[in-house]
Chain A
Amino acid sequence: MKSTLKTTGILRGKELLSCPGMPTKKRMKQGPVAIIECVQEIPCDPCVDSCRQGAITMGEDITQLPRLMEDKCTGCGTCVPGCPGQAIFVVDLNYSKQKALLMIPYEFLPLPKLDSKVKALDREGKVVGEAKVLKVSNSKRNDRTPVVSLLVPKELAMEIRNIRF
């Protein structure tokens, strides 16, 4: 059977890249941007209000998939902790020549230490490389969903979605 989110819990290929929450390659090359990996129609809309720039839209029917207005998105990451499915990330492919910045939600203890090196895991939980912890934000607004900002190899920015240390 074909590997889809429904059959394996892993989002990949066309199913991932064609969702309305995905920015274009062009936009991703311009700097930090949100990646909304939402592909199943579930009545759910907290992401819409979480964006102060109005870059996430949905329409009246809350079962629809959220759409990213990539020109309005500044990649600030405010939307990351609010998604009940933890399906929103931020990627900045311009962070440096070889590295990208990746923001992930992380609801486990212990939280990683600043500047520490951690193992980078892909959507299957496999170690694909190493990442450096740049920031751990956990303010009241996060409502106990900390957001970890990681320095990752550019070519793995769309693979890494978790850490282990």
Chain B
Amino acid sequence: MREIELGVVGGGPAGLSAAIEAAKCGVKVAVFDENERPGGQLFKQIHKFFGSREHGAGIRGIDVGAQMLEDAEKHGVEVRLNTAVWGIFDGPKLGISSNQRVSRVSMKKVLLATGANENALAFPGWTLPGVMGGGAAQTMINIHRVLPGKRILTVGSGNVGLIVSYQLLQAGAEVVGLVEALPYISGYGVHASKLRKCGVPIYTSHTVKEAIGKERVERAVIVKVDENFNPKPRTEKRLTVDTICLAVGLTPMAELAWLAGCEFVYVPELGGHVPVHDDDMETTLKGVYIAGDLTGIEEAHTAIEEGRVAGISVAEALGYLTREKALELKQKAWGHLDALRKGPFGQKRAEGKVKIKQRRGDK
């Protein structure tokens, strides 16, 4: 049996994309994923993606995911499910656990594509059953096909809050309201329009003050905030809800990169502490690459492109691609990444990526 040359941690869009790209060039790839099913967040995205038609815009996330799994299989990518990666060592070696057995696996190159974690928001009553992440509600309705509740309050008007609220409507729930602390909607206007024309109120300059209930959420209190996000007295509004979805941002899941000793930089535009990487997606540790939301909170298409760059770079480093061919392929992917980071929504992310580049440039 051929030894693993590229070990990928995380079988979401970034990890699968890298695996497919590297495997196409002849690299022996194994993807480790702790879940029962690969695909990361893709199979929860039942909506049509934006982006360029050249790269699959207009296609639903679930179909993008299905195609990627097909491609991975076609190119002989080994996918080890129900396998958690708990450690990373010199070698490189990965510490894995599967079926209650622990072992260490050697490889030539590692790609960390572990994605991100949902942020939490603490307020009185937040521990009650019924308060959950926006992504959690999305998992329940789109993967398990179970409604977590019937009357929803969503906190946060980024794309996750807006999209999950719309998907909750499609699943048969009533979205009683959406609160956003900023004085404007932070996600795409078109997503907000879909909610408004269904009669969902969007309360900007508002936040959730309290969740009330005995065994479960029964009511929520929302309150207006001023420009410093301080609650304005006597502006409370009580809503009858049984579920409060927290869509207040994501943070890269960077534990393995931290354990490995990668250098980090703090970039608020990208969700917090991110590992420093170069244009080839390699971190400050030679042989350790990163891609996807781990490198900064963006979207599925940027995850796929970054994965592509990482896969190509690994294939090149292992001698499966000439420098010229690798550069040609990478330039296509870099061009696409630049296109996806344009405009008022992408600009902040582009600036964030520049900060990473600047930090790397200092070395």
Contacts and interface: CB of A to CB of B under 8 A. Distances in A.
The answer to whether A and B touch directly, with their CB atoms under 8 angstroms apart, is yes
Interface of A: 1, 5-11, 37-46, 48-50, 61-63, 82, 84-87, 107-108, 121-126, 143-145, 161-162
Among B196, B204, B343, max chain A CB count under 10 A is at B196
A144 B59 CA distance: 11
Contact of B189 (A40, A44, A144): A40
Contacts of B344: 40-41
B51 interface: yes
A43 B185 contact: no
A8 B193 CA distance: 8
B95 interface: no
B185 A7 contact: yes
A109 B153 CA distance: 22
Of all A-B residue pairs in the complex, the 9 with the closest CB atoms, nearest first, are A125-B199, A9-B192, A85-B190, A46-B58, A5-B189, A41-B343, A84-B48, A44-B50, A63-B343
Contact of B192 (A5, A39, A50, A121): A5
Given A8-B204, A45-B53, A162-B198, 17 more contacts: A5-B193, A6-B185, A6-B189, A8-B196, A9-B195, A38-B190, A40-B345, A43-B51, A43-B342, A46-B58, A48-B53, A62-B51, A125-B196, A125-B200, A145-B48, A161-B193, A162-B197
Among B183, B197, B340, B342, max chain A CB count under 10 A is at B197
Interface in B192-224: 192-200, 202, 204
Contact of A122 (B60, B170, B183, B197): B197
A2 to B, nearest CB: 11
Interface of B: 47-53, 57-60, 169-170, 183-185, 188-200, 202, 204, 339-346
A122 to B, nearest CB: 7
11 contacts: A5-B193, A8-B204, A9-B195, A9-B196, A10-B196, A44-B52, A63-B342, A63-B346, A84-B57, A87-B190, A124-B199
B196 A123 contact: yes
B149 to A, nearest CB: 19
Contacts of B50: 42-44, 84-85
B202 A8 contact: yes
B43 to A, nearest CB: 15
A42 B192 CA distance: 14
A44 B57 contact: yes
B60 A143 contact: yes
Nearest to B197: A162
A46 B53 contact: yes
B293 to A, nearest CB: 18
A6 B183 CA distance: 9
A144 B63 CA distance: 12
B173 to A, nearest CB: 12
Contacts of A50: 58
A87 B343 contact: no
A11 B189 contact: yes
Contacts of B169: 108
B39 to A, nearest CB: 19
A5 B157 CA distance: 13
Contact of A62 (B194, B195, B339): B339
A76 B191 CA distance: 25
A5 B193 CA distance: 8
Among A9, A86, A125, A145, max chain B CB count under 10 A is at A9
A11 B197 CA distance: 11
B196 A44 contact: no
B170 A108 contact: yes
B342 A9 contact: no
A121 B199 CA distance: 9
Contact of A61 (B190, B195, B199, B342): B342
A85 B191 contact: yes
A45 B194 CA distance: 19
Nearest to A123: B197
A165 B122 CA distance: 39
B58 A6 contact: no
Among A85, A122, A143, A162, max chain B CB count under 10 A is at A85
A74 B189 CA distance: 27
Given A40-B344, A43-B52, A49-B53, A7 B196 contact: no
A7 to B, nearest CB: 5
Contacts of A107: 170
A102 B343 CA distance: 31
A84 B183 CA distance: 25
A107 B50 CA distance: 17
